[in-house]
Chains A and B, each alone.
Chain A
């Protein structure tokens, strides 16, 4: 029964990992950028929400509704001002710029909020749970996070397949020059992709902050989880990303059952195993 509980909890946390990974996957798919500041952006969102809640006294749900669009706007601006410039200087430049951004964000947070661990108080919703049977109880927040992850992935999928802008985005991912020839403005399209990525990572960061404690230095480990979820699931496949997140979550949870110190190692080892024996991932995407 404990195993079943571990699997279910792992599955639910896998949703959170998929949420972290969706933006990373999207930015890589469209612009070939691996955003090394991805995890730190989630932490920035968490601290921003914390500051807004304590500064204005607004309820948390309202703060979340403000923070996410704000991040989308921030993403659009970051792409247009910072990343677009680096794209023209070659792949190394984008990597260095996002790595530099990661260092800057971490240390600004450290100066502004100190190294203390914080939590975002989600009230009874964050701590409450319902019992499935004697051994398994499911937290409202975990379940909501998982469902939210599925909804976000469905939303991105629908956006990419059904809307004109989404089609242009896929066209740019396949061939930037040709997409430009048929009327796509790559700068604007890239901005939109980054905006979506930033919005999803903000959601992920806020959900994460409600369920566990955070401090300015945890960004890189979130990035690593997101990255592992993307590679395990298969590059370029959104549903693969969800599966990758779930596999990672379940493995970590089972590892923790054996020995709590094994949590991270178990996840990394599954990642390495996939890399060794199935480098294309569990559900390989259409585009390489």
Chain B
């Protein structure tokens, strides 16, 4: 054994590198326990509660996707509502062809990816802030085109067919489980993507694009992948919105309001942490329930909170919590103990 090899092996033996600290190994069980409890809810509570929770799950999924785009890929989009709309309309169109609406949600994710390929080619020509407004314009184009298709109901939207045969209670529970599955799948996707090689590339790209490129990372490919995954997630979320509301309205599904919600959830929760959108969605959802009676003032407050968080709380609520406790539910970094 050469001297240098002996030295490195001794140095390597002296440090302990692992994904999670001790607390995280215990707290990793928490999300699993939470999913089990949540999955049992339709048997335990009134349908009104689960119907409201569907909205929360959709918000969690959307925010996780936006966090993946902006927090890890550095792609600040204000146009993800394009895929929400495409997903929502795909479910309507597939259901019209006789596909079971719940299964059509998977096809909706696929359709969104298919549309995302040419869209990304255009949108990626713009960088930074211009990318944000460019994606918004593209979402507007999708809305204006969809409104002109008469078979999709034009400007007044269309109802969902194919769920009439299912008992109302069962339908509510099924929709709830699908929405829960969507939220769980989007967080799991983020976690698995970020633990791997792509996660490392993405974080490098986010921190310094030019340096990442010179270190051999295919920047364009990494961004492209993230964009497609986010399109799929938002498309599936759009599909869930359709099966829960049983109809689709072009102005509602293609509304820039969705982007506003995603951005505020992620900024308040903590951008660049997988836990951020989860915490942010819960806070946002609670605010929404408490302040629903105040109409527009609620949005004024939301905008102000978002601005304040962007200025003074760059890590969001989760960032504060993590600094205080060192807690990490979904560890994607490494701990080094000497």
Chain A complexes with chain B: yes
Are the C-beta atoms of A28 and B299 separated by less than 8 Å? no
Residues of B106-131 whose CB lies within 8 A of A: 121-122, 125-126, 128-130
| Stretch binding the partner chain, chosen from A44-52, A161-169, A238-246, A260-268 | A260-268
Taking CB atoms, residues of chain B closer than 8 Å to A103 are 260, 299-300, 302-303, 306
A97 adjacent to chain B (CB < 8 Å): yes
A111 touching B296 in the complex, CB below 8 Å, given contacts A36-B133, A224-B136, A272-B141? yes
A96 adjacent to chain B (CB < 8 Å): yes
A89 adjacent to chain B (CB < 8 Å): yes
Are the C-beta atoms of B134 and A89 separated by less than 8 Å? no
Are the C-beta atoms of B76 and A85 separated by less than 8 Å? no
The minimal Cβ–Cβ distance linking A200 to chain B, given in whole angstroms, is: 18
Taking CB atoms, residues of chain A closer than 8 Å to B336 are none
Taking CB atoms, residues of chain B closer than 8 Å to A94 are 129
Are the C-beta atoms of A264 and B140 separated by less than 8 Å? yes
A71 adjacent to chain B (CB < 8 Å): no
Are the C-beta atoms of A275 and B126 separated by less than 8 Å? yes
Taking CB atoms, residues of chain B closer than 8 Å to A110 are 296
| A231→B76 CA distance, assembly (Å) | 18
Are the C-beta atoms of B133 and A224 separated by less than 8 Å? yes
Taking CB atoms, residues of chain A closer than 8 Å to B140 are 224, 264, 268
Q: Which of B76, B144, B310 gathers the greatest number of chain A CB atoms within 10 Å? A: B310
Type the 1/0 row for A106-122, where 1 means its CB is closer than 8 Å to any CB of B.
11101100000000000
Are the C-beta atoms of A97 and B311 separated by less than 8 Å? yes
The minimal Cβ–Cβ distance linking A43 to chain B, given in whole angstroms, is: 14
The minimal Cβ–Cβ distance linking B267 to chain A, given in whole angstroms, is: 6
B307 adjacent to chain A (CB < 8 Å): yes
| A36→B306 CA distance, assembly (Å) | 14
Residues of A68-118 whose CB lies within 8 A of B: 82, 85-86, 89-97, 99-104, 106-108, 110-111
Taking CB atoms, residues of chain B closer than 8 Å to A235 are 130
A220 adjacent to chain B (CB < 8 Å): yes
Taking CB atoms, residues of chain B closer than 8 Å to A28 are 129-130
Residues of B70-86 whose CB lies within 8 A of A: 70, 76, 78
| A96→B311 CA distance, assembly (Å) | 9
Are the C-beta atoms of A95 and B76 separated by less than 8 Å? yes
Residues of B262-302 whose CB lies within 8 A of A: 263-264, 267, 271, 295-297, 299-300, 302
B7 adjacent to chain A (CB < 8 Å): no
Q: Which residue of A lies closest to B267 (CB)?
A: A96
Type the 1/0 row for A48-71, where 1 means its CB is closer than 8 Å to any CB of B.
000000000000000000000000
Are the C-beta atoms of B132 and A100 separated by less than 8 Å? no
> Contact check: which of B138, B271, B311 meets A272 at CB < 8 Å?
B138
B314 adjacent to chain A (CB < 8 Å): yes
Taking CB atoms, residues of chain A closer than 8 Å to B132 are 34, 36, 95
> Contact check: which of B133, B138, B296 meets A34 at CB < 8 Å?
B133
> Contact check: which of B125, B300, B302, B310 meets A89 at CB < 8 Å?
B310
Are the C-beta atoms of B311 and A86 separated by less than 8 Å? yes
Are the C-beta atoms of B303 and A89 separated by less than 8 Å? no
Q: Which residue of A lies closest to B304 (CB)?
A: A104
Are the C-beta atoms of A91 and B128 separated by less than 8 Å? yes
A32 adjacent to chain B (CB < 8 Å): yes
Taking CB atoms, residues of chain A closer than 8 Å to B297 are 107, 111
> Contact check: which of B130, B271, B296 meets A107 at CB < 8 Å?
B296
Are the C-beta atoms of B307 and A101 separated by less than 8 Å? yes
Are the C-beta atoms of B304 and A100 separated by less than 8 Å? yes
> Contact check: which of A86, A99, A275, A276 meets B260 at CB < 8 Å?
A99
A279 touching B263 in the complex, CB below 8 Å, given contacts A86-B311, A89-B310? no
Are the C-beta atoms of A86 and B310 separated by less than 8 Å? yes
Are the C-beta atoms of B311 and A275 separated by less than 8 Å? no
Are the C-beta atoms of B311 and A89 separated by less than 8 Å? yes
The minimal Cβ–Cβ distance linking A24 to chain B, given in whole angstroms, is: 9
The minimal Cβ–Cβ distance linking B31 to chain A, given in whole angstroms, is: 27
| A35→B298 CA distance, assembly (Å) | 23
A190 adjacent to chain B (CB < 8 Å): no
A228 adjacent to chain B (CB < 8 Å): yes
> Contact check: which of A99, A265, A271 meets B263 at CB < 8 Å?
A99
Are the C-beta atoms of A265 and B144 separated by less than 8 Å? yes
A152 adjacent to chain B (CB < 8 Å): no
> Contact check: which of B137, B260, B300 meets A268 at CB < 8 Å?
B137
A96 touching B148 in the complex, CB below 8 Å, given contacts A28-B129, A269-B141? no
| A265→B147 CA distance, assembly (Å) | 11
A146 adjacent to chain B (CB < 8 Å): no
B36 adjacent to chain A (CB < 8 Å): no
Are the C-beta atoms of A97 and B310 separated by less than 8 Å? yes
The minimal Cβ–Cβ distance linking A30 to chain B, given in whole angstroms, is: 14
Taking CB atoms, residues of chain B closer than 8 Å to A276 are 121-122, 125
| A272→B121 CA distance, assembly (Å) | 11
Are the C-beta atoms of A231 and B256 separated by less than 8 Å? no
Taking CB atoms, residues of chain A closer than 8 Å to B302 are 103
Q: Mind listing 20 A-B residue pairs with CB under 8 Å? A: A32-B129, A34-B129, A36-B133, A82-B311, A85-B311, A91-B129, A93-B314, A95-B76, A99-B78, A100-B310, A107-B300, A110-B296, A224-B136, A224-B137, A228-B137, A231-B130, A268-B137, A268-B140, A275-B122, A276-B125
10 smallest CB-CB distances across A and B, nearest first, come from A103-B303, A34-B129, A100-B307, A96-B310, A104-B303, A107-B296, A100-B306, A107-B299, A100-B303, A265-B144
Q: A96-B307, A102-B303, A275-B125 are in contact. List 4 more A-B contacts (CB 8 A).
A: A89-B311, A101-B307, A265-B141, A276-B125
